[in-house]
Amino acid sequence: MVEKDGCVKPVKGPLLPSLDPAKGAQAAPEKEVSKMQVRVGGEAVDFETSAFIAGKGFQPVKLSDYKGKWIILCFYPGDFTFV
């Protein structure tokens, strides 16, 4: 199925259990959402977002799709920057 890809497409972002209404959670206050919630030795926080993949184009990616493998997750400031 070819997904319609408009200019603006909402992404789910972090999938925190505390934000899951199915688990009876109320929407967490904004401050709570922006706090660091990972630590070494702890579970990775799942998320779902859009991605560009060479040869495949635009696709949604969920971190937990890669569960069972070793993952390197790299954040960087921006495309077309210098380092």
Binding site for another protein (CB under 8 A): 11, 13-14, 16, 33-45, 47, 49-54, 58-59, 61, 63-64, 66-81, 83
Q: Minimum CB separation from another protein for residue 83, in Å?
A: 5
- Quote the least distance from Cβ 82 to another protein, whole Å: 9
H or E stretch at 31: helix 30-33
Closest CA to 46 of 55, 37, 54: 37
Q: Which is nearer to another protein, 1 or 74 (CB)?
A: 74
Indicate the residue type of 29: P
